[in-house]
Amino acid sequence: MMRVKHSLLQDLNFNDVEMTAGGNLKDSPLAVILLSDKYDSLLAEEADRIRREVYSDEVYLRGLIEFTNYCKNDCYYCGLRKSNSNITRYRLTEEEIISCCKTGYELGLRTFVLQGGEDPYFTDEKICSIISSIKGLYKDVAVTLSIGEKENESYLAYYKAGADRYLLREESASPSHYALLHPENLKAERRKECLKALKEIGYQVGGGFMVGTPYQGVEEIIADLKYLYSLSPDMIGIGPFVSNPDTPFAHFKSGSVELTLRLLSILRILFPHALLPATTSLWTLDSNALERALKGGANVIMPNITPKRVRDNYRLYPGKKNTEKEAAQTVAELVSRISAAGYRAVSSKGDVRRI
């Protein structure tokens, strides 16, 4: 047992992957691990050992506020894409966003994630005003933004207004694969430039990708792991691609929950300090995957505190859970599931712990 574990960790040493990078990645040790379920329990066990060493049994809750479902982009996989006329579009007002934060704060949440499509209505001025209102009201919270690609000056303005973190998945580090998931005007290189700028400004930065997107093979996954390794992000969000009938990828099947869980454990082993969410798309496809993700290295959950009235319209993919629940019920249920799984939901900002 120990020998297998030892050799597995040797295999996971990124230098090995670097060395095989020039050759055939399909034969790299990491590819073998990715393609087999043989090591799954060993990976989860090792990931849990590492997460407990760095983060103890703590799980951080982030209040997710989906404040606009308008988007100027047309990503082939996403239900918010501008060409989708099958969703009802909405925007929250600043007052509504603040009211979500108030509810969340009373429930013990100390991070608010403002997520949305790339919506030109929300000018830099409006975004900065929302950030500074939240930070003015609550001194002990972190504000995370997830609003896509912006100019560097905009990123800087949000940071100065008080934003602490920024989530921008690279989606695919491979330019050729990225081009198969996005229209011509969106480029992998631009995405990476944004991530670099965000890091340089001083944000805690989150990258990541969907697992099982069309045309993604083991080589593409390894390219993402290698890219993330060089970026050294504070947060990494991965979740299965969920097929959406209202998109050009309607006929592709959704990604694998098992592979996502395996990758989560691999990420924990490769990035001991990272904040790793058990993402919504993961437990949308399999509700038990939440506990399995926690037991395999995840240490963040993002309860949705968007007003019930609009929650169902933020439809990246079908099957979204908890659209009928009040924020209080969602949070209470998550806290008890976390505790039943052997972890502890803590009321803290939950900053990254670099070791």
- Binding residues vs ligand SF4 (CB under 6 A): 71, 73, 75, 78, 80-81, 117-118, 148
Strands 344-346 and 204-211, sheet pairing: unpaired
In 3D space, the residue among 233, 246, 227, 183 whose CA is nearest the CA of residue 206 turns out to be: 233
Closest distance to ligand SAM from the beta carbon of 262 (Å): 17
Closest distance to ligand SF4 from the beta carbon of 188 (Å): 13
Q: Which residues contact 185 (CB under 8 A, 6 or more apart)?
A: none
Interface with ligand SAM includes 191 (CB under 6 A)?
no
Q: Residue 244 binds which entry of ligand SAM, ligand SF4, none, with Cβ cut-offs from 5 to 8 Å by kind?
A: ligand SAM
* Residue 92, CA atoms < 13 Å, CB-side half-sphere: 27
- Please tell me the distance from the alpha carbon of residue 237 to that of residue 171, in angstroms, as a whole number: 10
* Cβ burial, residue 267 (10 Å; 0-12/13-18/19+): buried
The phi-psi region of residue 215 (left if phi > 0; otherwise alpha if psi is between -120 and 50; otherwise beta) is left
Q: Which is nearer to ligand SAM, 28 or 68 (CB)?
A: 68
Q: Which is nearer to ligand SF4, 136 or 318 (CB)?
A: 318
Size of the site for ligand SAM (CB under 6 A): 20
Interface with ligand SAM includes 260 (CB under 6 A)?
no
Q: Which is nearer to ligand SF4, 94 or 118 (CB)?
A: 118
Q: Which is nearer to ligand SF4, 96 or 118 (CB)?
A: 118
| Of the candidate residues 165, 169, 295, 311, the single one contacting ligand SAM (CB under 6 A) | 169
Closest distance to ligand SAM from the beta carbon of 74 (Å): 11
Closest distance to ligand SAM from the beta carbon of 65 (Å): 12
* Residue 5, CA atoms < 13 Å, CB-side half-sphere: 11
Q: Residue 154 binds which entry of ligand SF4, ligand SAM, none, with Cβ cut-offs from 5 to 8 Å by kind?
A: none
| Of the candidate residues 64, 114, 131, 168, the single one contacting ligand SAM (CB under 6 A) | 168
CA Rg value for the chain: 19
Interface with ligand SAM includes 84 (CB under 6 A)?
no
Q: What residues are paired with 68 via a beta bridge?
A: 91, 116
- DSSP labels for 291-347? HHHHHTT--EE--B-S-HHHHTT--SSS--S-TTS-HHHHHHHHHHHHHHTT-EEE-
| Of the candidate residues 227, 241, 283, 343, the single one contacting ligand SAM (CB under 6 A) | 241
Q: Which residues contact 335 (CB under 8 A, 6 or more apart)?
A: 61, 345
Q: Residue 81 binds which entry of ligand SF4, ligand SAM, none, with Cβ cut-offs from 5 to 8 Å by kind?
A: ligand SF4
Closest distance to ligand SF4 from the beta carbon of 92 (Å): 15
Q: Which is nearer to ligand SAM, 58 or 171 (CB)?
A: 171
Q: Which is nearer to ligand SF4, 69 or 299 (CB)?
A: 69
